[in-house]
Structure 1
Amino acid sequence: MTGRRRKKIVLLLLICVPALLWAVQAQAAFIDVGLGARPVGLGRAFVGLADDANAMLYNPAGLAHLERMELTSMYARLYPGIEDDKLHLGYVGVVKPVKGFGTLGIGATNLWADLYGENIFYLSYARKMSTGLSLGGSFKFLRWSADGYTDPEGLSELGHSWNGWTFDVGLLYSLRSEKLLRFMGADGLQLGLSVLNVNQPSTAKNGAEDAKLPIGFEGGLVYRRGNYKGLLSFSRRDDMSRLHFGQELDLLAQGSRSGSASFQIRAGAFKTLSEESGGELDFGCGFALRNALLDYAYVFPLALRDVGGCHKVSIGYTF
């Protein structure tokens, strides 16, 4: 299957969403639709925070800071206003710190509809390198499959599938200058950087150049003060740039997310800075009690209002 033909199939799935054309053209497949209810509730400005099992999706270096084994999962029905074809998104991941070695993570995502499906399988590793610095990487096995179909003119298309791989790398650095922290009025400042899809594989069966998965660059900063976190990040993939914002406030403040109890409220947004209009407003909350984690996010699209906002729910557990 050529990249052009596969784009048509994806467009059939999203036929009622003309404003998504820019995303399909820019990335052909494996579109960034927002994974993990907590990162989504923070406007996806997660690259500089990356402090839970969702780190393998945004910045694998963050896994090095996890102290306990963590399991996470997510489900969302995307674009609920679309009636012709239901689009679903799922994710499951598990992270295990290994003393003296680093932190390992495995995960899988699934985007599926009636005729088309995409899967990404993750194998991640991260390690603390020096005071305040951690590095990490994720190997990703990619797969898409499309069922055969017959168009209104009677022309048939056989089913197709494709397998490939790519990898991401990332780093986190905690700024430890006391003068800077005092000047900023912060308890902590953290920088995060990640590079996604480093080898840029073509996702077409014939290796077409127009179906190359674009390399992605993300950088972000997290400001911590008491029970408050402020997040700011910038991302660029292909010719599309985004500015992301997020805030999280812990109202119970009785420990970390994996501690005794916590309840966070979140708000975030991102805005597309390229010629194509786009962006979203995000709201969410999270509750942790003992080892159980529950997160929720609501996504309000700024450019796709007719398809409706969507709900994303994550359930997790720490061991």
Structure 2
Amino acid sequence: MTIFVLVISLLTVGGFASGYGNVAGIFDLSTSARAAGMGGAFVALADDASAVFYNPAGLGWINDISLSSLVARQFDAVNYASLQFALPYFGAAVLYLDSGLIEGGEDVFRYASGGGVVSTGFNIGPVGIGGRFKVYRATSPNDVTGWAFDPGILVVTDLVRVGLLIENAYSEPILFPSHTEDWTPLMRIGIALTLAPSDGVGVNATVEGAGLFSGSPRLYAGFETYVDGLAARVGYDGDGVTFGLSVRFSSFQIDWAYITRDAFPDTHRVSLSFSF
């Protein structure tokens, strides 16, 4: 019971495990086990379908149609799932978080919330520009809604990628029955180094800062190495070390991430992706 109360408190007050989050903490969760295995430091990489979520400017370099899903039992306390779809210049994602019924004596509590994302992006030469429109709704214990818009930029060269995402640059406050709560504007900036000495073999290393001009800046980092259809990852997401593995079979890919925490149980995340 205690772990449920702690986790729900993090999700409903001040965002998800972050010092600068807001009530729409579901958007602090990852939609990609690959990105999660790299500590969530993906704003500068954004080279697959998860560009829909991490940096919409990356959609300008997407060449195929992708469908991916993620499931997790977050902190052994709440169920989380996401589904995202991406094609050149456009993508969408849905996220859902549900604690189930939590019994405490005579009281029964439940926290459930969802998010929707619609993104678009294009590139002109090495520079990509995009935008992410997101809608938040919680149905329990309160029925609340809100939305925000996040512009993004991505610069891509053969070896270096630089990404910028301004979260909640423009928004409508989240409406509670008795009050409203503003989204917290945040800036994310990252740089990634990509090396591919031969076809199907390479490494990606990335560092990212978030909330740089807020009172609680955070640092993320990730490293990935791949050989043909196999990949391994390690990262740091601001709260703990993360690990990841991938196996790809032609157009189908399975990603796994392991997220460590000191105060909560560790979390496994699994993504399934299909491209055509």
Q: What interval of TM-score do these two structures reach, taking the shorter chain for normalisation?
A: 0.7 to 0.9
Say yes or no: does 1:15 pair with 2:5: yes
Where does structure 2 lack aligned partners over 5 or more consecutive residues? 101-109, 197-201
1:124 maps to which of 109, 119, 122: 119
Tell me if structure 1 keeps the 8 A contact 2:146–2:175. no
Q: Tell me the number of residue pairs that the alignment of Structure 1 and Structure 2 aligns.
A: 255
Report the Cα distance in structure 2 between the residues aligned to 1:144 and 1:18, rounded to whole angstroms: 13
Match of residue 318 from structure 1: 275
- How far residue 174 of structure 1 moved from its aligned partner, in angstroms, is 1.8
SS at match of 1:16: helix
Within 5 A, what are the aligned runs for 1:13-162?
14-17=4-7, 20=10, 23=15, 26-31=20-25, 32-80=28-76, 86-97=77-88, 103-114=89-100, 115-128=110-123, 130-147=124-141, 160-162=142-144
1:251 maps to which of 221, 224, 227: 227
Tell me if structure 1 keeps the 8 A contact 2:162–2:189. yes
Structure 1 residue runs of 4 or more that deviate by more than 6 Å after TM superposition: none
Within 5 A, what are the aligned runs for 1:112-261?
112-114=98-100, 115-128=110-123, 130-147=124-141, 160-175=142-157, 188-205=159-176, 208=179, 211-226=181-196, 227-236=202-211, 239-252=215-228
Q: 1:316 to 1:299 in 2, by over 3 A?
A: same
The TM-score normalised by the length of structure 2 is 0.85
Name the Cα RMSD after superposition.
2.4
- How far residue 146 of structure 1 moved from its aligned partner, in angstroms, is 1.2
Where does structure 1 lack aligned partners over 5 or more consecutive residues? 1-11, 81-85, 98-102, 148-159, 176-186, 253-261, 272-278
CA-to-aligned-CA distance 1:226-248 (integer Å, 9 cap, x gap) = 20111111011853211111000
Tell me if structure 2 keeps the 8 A contact 1:27–1:212. no
Tell me if structure 2 keeps the 8 A contact 1:45–1:232. yes
Q: 1:23 to 1:105 in 2, by over 3 A?
A: closer
- How far residue 193 of structure 1 moved from its aligned partner, in angstroms, is 0.4
Tell me if structure 2 keeps the 8 A contact 1:202–1:208. no
Q: 1:93 to 1:246 in 2, by over 3 A?
A: same
- How far residue 251 of structure 1 moved from its aligned partner, in angstroms, is 2.5
Report the Cα distance in structure 1 between the residues aligned to 2:84 and 2:186, rounded to whole angstroms: 22
- How far residue 41 of structure 1 moved from its aligned partner, in angstroms, is 0.3
CA-to-aligned-CA distance 1:160-188 (integer Å, 9 cap, x gap) = 3122221111111024xxxxxxxxxxx51
Report the Cα distance in structure 2 between the residues aligned to 1:19 and 1:163, rounded to whole angstroms: 18
Report the Cα distance in structure 2 between the residues aligned to 1:22 and 1:212, rounded to whole angstroms: 11
**Highest CA radius of gyration, 1 or 2?**
1
Larger helix proportion of the pair: 1
Report the Cα distance in structure 2 between the residues aligned to 1:263 and 1:117, rounded to whole angstroms: 36
